[in-house]
Structure 1
Amino acid sequence: MAQTTRTFLAIDVPPTIADRLTKLQHKLAPLVPAFRWVDATPFHLTLAFLGDVPFADLNEVCAAATRAARASKRFEIQVAGLGSFPKPERPRVAWTGFAGPGLEPLAALHRTLISELRKIGQPPEDPRFTPHITLGRLKAGAGRGKTPVPPPDLSALVEEYREWSPGSFVIGEIVAYSSTLTPEGPTYAALARAPLASARARTDT
């Protein structure tokens, strides 16, 4: 059996935004005890989760990311709001989303990347795209046991933080990551970085 690694392609969140997201987690943690708030770094926006990719195919995946990045110019996007999957009343994942004019070039970048991945036979496990940064997940076994934690309802918090924003940042590269699952949560290792067109041009000068 070929050796594989859990692989995804993402956009890193810069430290200034990450610090504000961490502060938001600290505010939410005592209000939603049924959630485990992620502490894996860096915070990121997943563009495509590929699942287990054979080691022999990783170079092709990274090359596909490079082609998609070169076809896109860097752009600014605003991080904003609070949301949850599948719905605020019965959440399993809490996240912050994105807003503003940057959503259009982000969607275009995603489409280009998915097209390049399909060309090499490595489409994402789920092609749907709801851009978000994961903040926390429902703890395993929440709501069960001798002293169960009540199932959370994030409706009020989602409404309270609807206009909240930690700021904007410039998207300048796609990062290919491997993901290793541990009892404390996933850990990530960067496999390759693919600068977007204008970001690459700037570094070449």
Structure 2
Amino acid sequence: MEVRSVAEGIRSFIAFDIDSESVLKRMTEVQTMLTKTGADLKLVEPKNIHMTLRFLGNITPNTVEKIFEEMKKIQFVPFDVRLRGVGAFPNPRYPRVVWTGITQGADQLRSIFEQLEPKLLRLGFAPDPKGFSPHLTIARVRSGRNRVELAEYLSENENFEFGVIGAKCLRLKRSDLTPRGPIYSTLKEFCPQQ
């Protein structure tokens, strides 16, 4: 396997992983139905689906430890996240990203983001230009092909119930880009006690 090197450092992000096989199975079922719309999609591999709190870009090995020290200062106890609904950014009529919604746990995720952001700014990171919108990306839209059919599917499944996952360990993840897609690995994890 050939991995594209990133000269500037380690491509990284902070996220919670998905800990439920049944939720991942339901996401895979939805991805199958999405492809049946005929839309031009790049599906996220189930093993790569996660709840991103903050994309960091390229970091140096020295920065990994500094970020982890700040992550350990985040105040939270493990909590449940209910995943419900399928939608799209910027909107279902002109989709670029297809997502799974979060109906329970969004406030806790937002709190973690709001604690994390100033810590990252102090480490020299630029503010997150997109802010925080709780979701899980399950597909990216490559073109406008069958956009109407995709929008209809999204509308029909805006309340699709995926289930509940646990947000237990905040992870600093590495993303290695390969010709076959990204490979994610955990650099550091912070798992607070209940």
Is TM > 0.5 for Structure 1 vs Structure 2? yes
TM-score, structure 2 normalization:
0.87
Contact 1:40 1:187 in 2 (8 A): no
Query: Matches of 1:32 and 1:112 in 2, distance apart?
Result: 41
User: What is the CA distance between 1:33 and its match in structure 2?
Assistant: 3.4
User: Larger % of strand: which?
Assistant: 2
- The answer for unaligned runs of 5 or more in structure 1 is 144-149, 199-205
- Compare 76-85 and 110-119 and name the one that shifted more: 110-119
Contact 1:67 1:116 in 2 (8 A): no
The reply on whether 1:58 has 2:64 as its aligned counterpart is yes
Contact 2:87 2:98 in 1 (8 A): yes
Query: Matches of 2:129 and 2:65 in 1, distance apart?
Result: 21
Query: Matches of 1:159 and 1:3 in 2, distance apart?
Result: 41
What secondary structure does 1:196 align onto? coil
Cα 1:112–1:127, aligned 2, differ >3 Å: closer, same or farther? farther
What secondary structure does 2:171 align onto? strand
Partner in structure 1 of residue 169 of structure 2: 173
- Written as runs of structure 1 = structure 2, the 5 A alignment for 1:45-194 is 45-68=51-74, 71-100=75-104, 102-123=105-126, 125-126=128-129, 128-139=131-142, 142=143, 150=145, 152-153=147-148, 154-194=150-190
User: What is the CA distance between 1:182 and its match in structure 2?
Assistant: 2.2
Contact 2:39 2:146 in 1 (8 A): no
Partner in structure 2 of residue 22 of structure 1: 28
User: What is the CA distance between 1:119 and its match in structure 2?
Assistant: 2.7
Contact 2:81 2:167 in 1 (8 A): yes
Cα 1:59–1:67, aligned 2, differ >3 Å: closer, same or farther? same
Computing the radius of gyration from Cα coordinates, the structure with the larger value is 1
| CA offset digits 1:156-200 (Å, max 9, x no partner) | 2222111111111221110111112223222111101111341xx
Task: Give the aligned CA root-mean-square deviation in angstroms.
Answer: 1.9
| CA offset digits 1:60-105 (Å, max 9, x no partner) | 112222221xx111111200101111111111111111003x2222
- The answer for unaligned runs of 5 or more in structure 2 is 1-6
Partner in structure 2 of residue 13 of structure 1: 18
Query: Matches of 1:13 and 1:40 in 2, distance apart?
Result: 9
Contact 1:49 1:126 in 2 (8 A): no
Q: 1:31 aligns with which of 20, 37, 51?
A: 37
Code of the aligned partner of 2:15 = A
Query: Matches of 2:130 and 2:91 in 1, distance apart?
Result: 20
Number of residue pairs matched? Answer: 186
Query: Matches of 1:55 and 1:151 in 2, distance apart?
Result: 43
Query: In percent, how many aligned pairs have the same letter?
Result: 27
Query: Matches of 1:40 and 1:56 in 2, distance apart?
Result: 31
